[in-house]
Amino acid sequence: MNQQIAENLLSEITIEDDISQLLESLLSSHSLDKNDLAEVARILLESERPSPTQWIQLAEYLLTQFNFDAEMIKATYLKQFNVKKETYSNDSLFFEELPIVSTNQMLDIVKAHYPAIAPYYLASACTEERKRKFDVLWKNFMPYADRHFRSQAKTNFHQRTWEMYVGNVLLEKKLTIQSQNEGPDFVIDNIAYIECVAPTKGDPTKPDSVPKMFVATTPEEIRVQDVPVDKMILRITQVIKDKALDQYENWKSKKWFDSKTPFIIAVNTGDLSHVEDPSMPNVLKALFGFQFMQINIKTGATNFSHRDKVEKTNNEPVPVNYFINEDFSFVSGVLFSDKSVLNHPENIGEDCIFVNNPFADNPVDESFVKLFKNWTASKENDKISLKKNY
């Protein structure tokens, strides 16, 4: 009987129908009891008639309403979806074979079939609202994306979507940009080279990686936890050093390179997750060596303590003074945000902040600086002063 009911449903459904709702109506009308309904749903799941969207509806219905065996659904997934195929359209950053899902259980099943792809990529591709946000950015950025962009986004999603976001921000600011398959991520006509970096938490098995922030789900789980500022600063200094030294050095031998063009590094710290010091962003602590706010109890005046290095767990010193001497004078400034691209503000670019290098060989034109919230760093004799302008 259940087989016949399933066959009747298959002969009647259209591609627009939500099969889970049809099944629910059978249950509410007492046409089937819950055990029979689960069997009918299983038969439908194993057939080839449902569309990919309907198959996901069925699978999630079985998982949520009947605690169905996830391993069985994982195996059946391969009959419906070709996990070895990746088809792209101009409208999306993501390949079309990934389905939209609405439960974490189903998302975990999808992830299990793509172990080499970043979980952040898969969660964004399979969640409708997330996918919409990234695809809006992609449509603007697509003409400037290098030929490897979408393939590399699968494994370096945080880093590559930050580049995509910066491209959108520059376009929103009405700047003329170029992006080639080699060289800096962006060349802004007559203004600067821009290279984008986005530190991650690092290998969790390594002692200097940034631990995940604990998020309580019940009042009983609430607890005090340290903010790993030094570990976040180490991650920031590492990506700045790699880009500044390695990339810039390589560019010098290229025909297109102009040593008089300002060089800006765009840094996104959103993946580090932990709350930042509202009075002094971690990127500035990594560039200028600032540490703790100090308050004069007599006058109320404030300043920050200073240090030249942060030590790794193995006691290896790492400099945090890139912008207080001439060693990095080829870096003109840093544009940074502590918001992940997924959580960018509605007013695109409002989260981006610029700080100049007071020792820069090629200072950035003031017309560019004024497009962003900014800090002004200046040198007077043997002192560096830093002023917040927003």
DSSP 299-361: T--EEEEE-SEEE-TT--EEE--TTSSGGGTT--EEEEE-S-GGG--SSTTTT-EEEE-TT-S
Quick: pLDDT tens for 230-281.
Answer: 999 999 999 998 877 788 999 999 999 999 999 999 999 999 988 888 889 9
pLDDT average, residue stretch 215-221: 69
Mean pLDDT of the residues in the chain = 90
Displacement of CA 379 from its chain's centroid (Å): 35
Do both 73 and 162 map to the same domain?
no
Contact between 40 and 1 (Cβ < 8 Å): no
**Is residue 146 predicted with pLDDT exceeding 60?**
yes
Hey, what amino acid is at 274? H
Same domain, 188 and 324: yes
Distance of alpha carbon 194 from alpha carbon 172, whole angstroms:
16
Per the model's pLDDT, the better-predicted residue between 242 and 18 turns out to be: 242
Task: Tell me, yes or no, whether 177 and 292 share the same domain.
Answer: yes
Confidence of residue 73 (pLDDT cuts 50, 70, 90): very high
243 lies in which domain range?
156-388
The whole-number average pLDDT for the span 341-363 is 97
Number of domains in the chain: 2
- The model's confidence at residue 1, banded by pLDDT at 50, 70 and 90, is low
Domain finish residue from 80, 108, 139: 80
3-state helix, strand, coil in the chain (%, to 5): 40, 15, 45
Q: What is the pLDDT of residue 27?
A: 65
Give the torsion sign (CA, 372, 378, 383, 385): negative
Residue 73 maps to a domain: yes
For residue 224, is pLDDT > 70? no
DSSP one-letter string for 8-44 = HHHHH--TT--HHHHHHHHHHTTSS-HHHHHHHHHHH
Q: Over range 97-122, report the average pLDDT.
A: 97
What pLDDT score was predicted for residue 219?
72
- pLDDT of 341 over the 80 cut: yes
Percent of the chain residues topping a pLDDT of 70: 92
Please state, for a pLDDT cut of 90, what percent of the chain lies above it. Answer: 65
- Tell me what pLDDT residue 220 has: 66
pTM: 0.89
The pLDDT of residue 100 is 97
Q: Does the pLDDT of residue 215 top 70, yes or no? A: no
Given its phi and psi angles, is residue 315 left (phi above 0), alpha (psi -120 to 50 degrees) or beta? left
Residues 176 and 286 in one domain: yes
- Which tens digit of pLDDT belongs to each residue from 177-208? 998 888 899 999 889 999 999 999 999 999 99
Q: Does residue 137 fall inside a structural domain? A: no
- Cα(210)–Cα(203) distance, rounded to whole angstroms? 8
Q: Which residue has the higher pLDDT, 288 or 27?
A: 288
Strand partners, 318: 310
What is residue 285's predicted lDDT score, i.e. its pLDDT?
A: 95
pLDDT in tens, 117-140: 999 999 999 999 999 999 999 999
> What is the Rg, in whole angstroms, of the alpha carbon atoms belonging to the chain?
26
Classify 316 in phi/psi space as left (phi over 0), alpha (psi -120 to 50) or beta. Answer: beta
The two tokens of residue 371 are 């497009």
- Provide the pairing of β-strand 192-197 with 263-268: parallel
Neighbours of 321 (CB within 10 A): 18
Tell me the mean pLDDT in the region 382-389. 90
In a domain, 91, yes or no: no
| CA dihedral for 364, 366, 369, 373, sign (positive or negative) | positive
Residues 35-60: tens digit of each pLDDT: 777 787 778 888 877 888 989 998 99
Among candidate residues 64, 80, 96, the one where a domain is terminated: 80
Q: Is the pLDDT of residue 225 over 70?
A: no
Q: Is residue 140 part of a domain?
A: no
Q: Which of 34, 60, 80 is the last residue of a domain?
A: 80
In a domain, 125, yes or no: no
Say if 345 falls within a structural domain: yes
